Amino acid sequence: MLNWEPWAGTAVLPATLVLGERVVDAMFGRTGGMFALWIPGVGRSVMVRDPALIRQVLLAPEGVVDDAEVNRVQEPIIGRQGLAVLDEEGNRRIRQIMLPALRPAALLHMRETAQGLARRVVADCPLGTPFPLGPRLRTAMVEAILALTLGIERPGESAAWMRALWRVFQPAVGAEITLRYMLRHAGGLATWRSFHRRREACDRMIYAEIGRRRAGADRDDLLGVLMRARDDNGARLTDQVLRDQVMSIIAGARTTTATALAWTVERLVRHPDALRRLTEENDEGADDGYATAVCYEALRVRPPVAFFGRQVLRAFELGGRTLRPGTSIVVHLRALHHDPELYPDPAAFRPERWLGRRPGGFGWMPFGGGRRTCVGDRLALLLMKTFLREFTRSVTLAPATARDEPIRWRAVSNLPGDDCRVVLHRRAGGG
């Protein structure tokens, strides 16, 4: 029988901010795979890590759980028509339009763009002195996604976009947006005038680009794919829907992919055997099997997104409990990925776990799961492996400090506490 302990569960999130993730682990240890809590701004909730329970949630019949409502915290950035907050039918439609442009064969041209960006990042990094790599990776990921989404590849052309996007994202990844979302019914978001001004300035650029495309300046990029789409009645996607998809894709790349890459570097520099093997296989021109395993394992031990969730629409039995309508189900990804029944010695960074196998089932979900699995998961892995290849080819990497970087929880993200602070040295004969 599960221990429910809703009041103890409610104390987990603030305690985690002070004491770290071991609080969550201890609570799961007491209660099994699920416990109850109350989350400010969200309300009655359950937190889950058991793969069997997660499977039950993700495969629930239509109309039993909602997979958009819990993503509303992203609305200030991606808008009300963004992919993550669209209803089931709208989400399915936009995904079907996007997927051909995000399949592996269609992404081959992105490898060259990513290689150029990675080389530019390496050239810009100081040598022989500690520095945070994270900010450079975030910038590079936005540049990569601008190329894919809007066809913007020249540094000069992207500069204005980068400034406008930074002004939107900079306040939106901190604690303020989470607090304001929790207080949204009291005007927490509506009264955030400085953020609204920044977002409107960014929106003007997006709408101006859409206007140019409408006037005949078509391009073969993701925005072009979306603009050429028609529904069953021959109608095009509205400008608002197009804007929200552009911001959805950029936001995802900036946070999820850049953070995943930063954590991958952070783990590699503290595991020299894995870094050495990756470098040697890259030098030998081997296939990317080990690089893929490195990415899988980094995404397991340090998932860049802290949670994903669903909301109960109709009474739903889960783990021996009947959840009432309105209850939020929160999947805690780090706890799931560190379940010792799934991964022996779960805290260890061992890319070898994945050699000859791919993640499957419901025990590895850094890109979410079910119908809401991130549409850009293949793109993220391509970018991560390309950057790793260019870094190991050109420089040697070392940690700035011996200790692991702590996990810093910001909004819904798990960030490296020191922003991936490393030391680089030029490799003899490196590119």
Residue 373 forms beta bridges with which residues? none
- Kind of pairing between the strands at 407-410 and 395-399: unpaired
By DSSP bridging, strand 321-323 and strand 34-39 are: unpaired
Mean pLDDT across 153-180: 79
Q: What is the DSSP letter of 60?
A: P
pLDDT of residue 5: 66
Q: What is the pLDDT of residues 246-276, one digit of tens each?
A: 999 888 777 789 999 999 999 999 999 999 9
Q: How far apart are CA 237 and CA 81, in angstroms?
A: 11
**CB-based contact 119:431 (threshold 8 Å):** yes
What tokens appear for 416 in the block? 């490296």
CA distance 277 to 14: 40
Write the pLDDT tens digit of every residue in 412-424: 788 999 999 999 9
Report which residue type is found at 277: R
Distance CA 10, CA 214 (A): 50
Helical (H) or strand (E) element with 141: helix 134-150
Amino acid at 118: A
* Whether 306 contacts 21, CB under 8 Å: no
Interatomic CA distance for residues 391 and 120, integer angstroms: 11
Do 15 and 7 form a contact (C-beta atoms < 8 A)? Answer: no
Which of 418, 289, 301 has its CA nearest to residue 349?
Answer: 301
CB 29, CB 416: distance < 8 Å: no
Alpha helices for 127-271 (secondary structure H): 134-150, 155-172, 175-182, 193-214, 222-228, 239-252, 258-269
Other CB atoms within 10 Å distance of the CB of residue 87: 12
Share of the chain above pLDDT 70, in %: 96
347-368 tens-digit pLDDT? 999 999 999 899 988 999 999 8
pTM for the structure as a whole: 0.90
* Tens of pLDDT, residues 24-64: 888 888 888 899 888 877 789 999 999 999 999 999 988 89
